Amino acid sequence: MRLEVKDLSFSYGDNKVLDNVSFSSSGGEAIAVLGPNGVGKSTFFKCILGFLPIRKGKIEIEGKDISIMKGKELSKYIAYIPQSSNPVFNHTVLDSVAMGMNNQIGLFSAPGEKEREKAAAALDRLGILKLKDRGCLNISGGERQLMLIARAMVQDARIIVMDEPTSSLDYGNSYRVMETIMSLSKDGYTILFSTHDPDAAMRYSDRVIAFYKGEIIRDGKPSTVLNTDVLSTLYSINVAIRNVRVREKEYSVCIPTGHDTTDSAGCVVFKDDSVLLVSFSKRIGFPKGHVENGESMEETALRETYEETGVKARILQSKPYVVPSARPGDQRSVYFYKAEYVEGALEADGEEVEKAFWVKRECVLDLLSFEEDKAMYKELSLL
């Protein structure tokens, strides 16, 4: 089932929360929506669910504009599972799941035997059929979350939106819920779930959408989206990503490494009509600034360029930038240098070689996602 968001913008009064967001999915994937608090993830979901009026842009399901759909029609396509559920009445788990079929049998009609069998099959599919006669107030948070997933399944909607599905769950229940999400995506469902946990996005999603300041700054496979540049930008803290092998399977793990308020240096190397770009996130240069004893910032930039790519360069001009540091409220200087190619091939060990590549000058802006990087490149290219 195809879901398409086209140039969606949304504001609460004068506060713009979403800015020209575009996204599409044809189904059969678990999509993690990742980002810090207040960047628009929940608003994005509310627009998709029809909870908020769309004033700019369009959202379509199977080519149909959701803004002209009534609630009952929209519920045939999309189901919603909130962060937590606090039922008022202690209905049985089976009855609670069967309520997901109200769009099929009518709001004031009671589920019949056929509907109850369908609800039981969904509970069995999730491994919680034994709870069918328990009151929904008498089960754990993880069991209730699985119950809500079962209710979404019997709704027959092929798109399921989950707002932080494990925010109130313990480790074991979080694992069970996330494993269920992955299994449903393999059955053809489109699962959109928001999370603050990069590890969950790495392990349990087929695709990651990174939200920052109301925009989608990255959209793709976890292995390409979730790198140190993107995560440090999203959460204002320096991180390291490590791979862990468990039972023949390799997992990526995100590890906070603390704050860094030191200045740093980087090179933008021009060679004929090409520019050297570095890292998966397409950020220009090497803003690391690991200054050795007696080394200037210029020498640091040239050394790190050579160490990481095998390219030797000559600095032509410099441009300092003041940027937010990893510690909220602090700032640091980043010194980028315009440099020209001298000699050397692009060589590095293992995956590092994939993070640096030559790009035609006219294509550079298309590859940069951060507005700060685009502005910096424009200024440097004109120096």
Q: Which domains, from first to last, does the chain contain?
A: 3-220 (3.40.50.300), 264-382 (3.90.79.10)
> Do residues 50 and 226 touch, judged by C-beta distance below 8 A?
no
Residue 362 has what DSSP assignment? Answer: G
Nearest to 39 by CA among 260, 196, 264, 271: 196
Taking the C-alpha atoms of residue 325 and residue 232, their distance in angstroms, rounded to an integer, is: 10
Residue 211 has pLDDT above 70, yes or no: yes
pLDDT, tens digit, for every residue of 147-182? 888 888 888 889 999 988 887 778 888 888 888 888
**Whether residue 95 has pLDDT greater than 80:** yes
Look at residues 78, 121, 77, 116 and name the one whose alpha carbon lies nearest to residue 99: 116
Single pTM value for the model: 0.69
Tell me the β-bridge partners of 251.
Answer: 244
Given a cut of 80, is residue 57 above it in pLDDT?
A: yes
Mean pLDDT of all residues in 51-77: 90
pLDDT band at 352 (very low <50, low <70, confident <90, very high): low
User: Is the pLDDT score of 85 beyond 60?
Assistant: yes
Residue 326 is predicted with a pLDDT of 47
User: Between the CA of residue 320 and those of 271, 295, 333, what are the distances in Å?
Assistant: 22, 18, 7
Segment 195-206, tens digit of pLDDT: 988 999 999 999
Round to whole Å and give the CA distance between 116 and 122: 10
Q: Which of 334-338, 349-353, 364-368 has the lowest mean pLDDT?
A: 349-353
Q: What is the mean pLDDT of residues 4-20?
A: 91
Residue 328 buriedness (CB in 10 A; 0-12 / 13-18 / 19+) = exposed
